Amino acid sequence: MPKQPPLTERELEKIGEETDEQLVDLARRGDRHALSRLLARYRQRAVRAAYGMLHSVEDAEDVAQEAFIRVFRSLPAYRGRGKFFTWLYRIIINLCASRRRMASSREIATEEIELGEHPETAEEAAVRSVAVSAVLTRLPYRQRAALILREIEQLSYADIAEVMEIVEGTVKYHVSEARRNFRRMWLEETNHEM
Amino acid sequence: MKCKDARAAISARLDGEDIGFDREALEAHLAQCLECRAEADAVGRIGEILRSAAAPVPSASFDERVLDGLSRRSWFDRLCDWFEVPARRVAVALGLSALVISCMFLVPNSSVPPSHVGLDILRRQAAEAGVDLSDIYPTHPAPSQRSEGGTIKCV
């Protein structure tokens, strides 16, 4: 693929104007800038979601890149069934699942976690991040995925159902159980009620 | 209402989704169940905690690596792409047929098996070194007894 020039300011402004469907349609017809616009729109969310699942910056970026490559390669076969972002998230969640053993085997230093009453400093925020990672790692995989898609990515139950290929009632159950378990594990990890 | 149902309803209400129960029934349950009320007070903080945790920012080379990865395809994928054009498939089939037919006409018809050539060299070297190979390789015509075409002359 030939290297393309960076997007101009006007093109970057247009990222917010075009729908995913329009960009996907352009990308399918070989418009390289449409790929860049989709990347600009979803790269942060893709890395964030993968990070929530794997708790490793390096792995999260690898997974997000691999997901984009798979999606873009499959664009010619894309028939517009389902939303672009639910398709992307589905691939991310599946790729993370294949790496989850590696991720769960990683040691997370939770023994030394001490949260202040009002975690405001950068150090305390970092400690809080470690605590969040520790708790998320302990959650069952599907509950973790449902909670991240709901709380961090702000997806509706219908979209989460599409990503995880389950019915909405099951999403509701997973999110609810994930919250209950998160609350309990948070108390265990930090000795602080939420 | 059971606590399990109440928890699911609390969670769905927080997300602005259908709680699946009458709201008044949920409120009545919360009014009498301390555990579920504590749950209802706490679950709203989970999203806040999760979102406040540091999230990585994609590296500056993220897009470049994706687009490079997109152009890097395996040789098999490229071959499949190349064969997508029917004319190329026909051209390759014709080329291979021509090659096979050419080989049938061009390969010399030698009656001397390749192993005999090696044996002749071995014999010659053994004779130069004064070693007798007749016990190991009993009866074979000497190289001098062969014609140029590879057939054996009767002496």
The range of the structural domain enclosing residue B34 comes to 3-52
Distance CA B65, CA B21 (A): 49
Q: Do B67 and A32 touch (CB under 8 A)?
A: yes
**B88 plus B124 within the same structural domain:** no
Q: Do B49 and A128 touch (CB under 8 A)?
A: yes
Interface test with A, best of B7, B36, B61, B67 (most A CBs within 10 A): B67
Check if B54 contacts A (Cβ < 8 Å): yes
Q: Which residues of B16-116 form beta strands (DSSP E)? A: none
Distance CA A99, CA A63 (A): 9
**B34 plus B8 within the same structural domain:** yes
Distance CA B59, CA B68 (A): 15
Q: If you measure CA to CA, which chain A residue comes closest to B72?
A: A1
**B102 plus B114 within the same structural domain:** no
* pLDDT reported for residue A74: 87
What are the Cα distances from residue A163, in Å, to A83, A86, A136, B108, B117? Answer: 9, 5, 19, 66, 70
Check if B34 contacts A (Cβ < 8 Å): no
CA angle (A90 as vertex; A137, A58 as ends), nearest 5: 50
* pLDDT reported for residue B114: 54
**B99 plus B116 within the same structural domain:** no
* pLDDT reported for residue A113: 40
Q: Do B10 and A176 touch (CB under 8 A)?
A: yes
Q: How many CB pairs under 8 A join A and B?
A: 111
> Do A106 and A60 touch, CB atoms closer than 8 A?
no
Supply B30's token pair: 């919360």
Question: Does B72 or A111 have the greater pLDDT score?
Answer: B72
Q: Which band of pLDDT confidence, cut at 50, 70 and 90, is reported for residue A112?
A: very low
* pLDDT reported for residue A55: 85
* pLDDT reported for residue A14: 56
In order of start, what are the domains of chain A with their CATH numbers? 1-104 (1.10.1740.10), 107-194 (1.10.10.10)
Whole-complex ipTM: 0.75
What are B84-96's pLDDT values in tens digits? Answer: 678 888 999 999 9
* DSSP structural state of residue A30: T
In a domain, B130, yes or no: yes
Most confident of A8-12, A157-161, B3-7: A157-161
Question: Does A104 or A110 have the greater pLDDT score?
Answer: A104
In a domain, B150, yes or no: yes
What are B26-37's pLDDT values in tens digits? Answer: 999 999 999 999
> Do A151 and B47 touch, CB atoms closer than 8 A?
yes
What are the Cα distances from residue B74, in Å, to A4, A30, A185? Answer: 22, 20, 45
* pLDDT reported for residue A110: 41
Q: How many domains does chain B have?
A: 3
What are A33-87's pLDDT values in tens digits? Answer: 999 999 999 999 999 999 989 888 899 999 999 999 999 988 887 777 788 999 9
**B67 plus B29 within the same structural domain:** no
In a domain, B83, yes or no: yes
In a domain, B57, yes or no: no
Interface test with B, best of A53, A66, A123, A151 (most B CBs within 10 A): A151
CA angle (A75 as vertex; A158, A47 as ends), nearest 5: 60
**B94 plus B117 within the same structural domain:** no
Q: What is the mean pLDDT of residues B112-116?
A: 59
* DSSP structural state of residue A80: S
Check if B15 contacts A (Cβ < 8 Å): yes
Residue with tokens 């006409």: B105
**B124 plus B87 within the same structural domain:** no
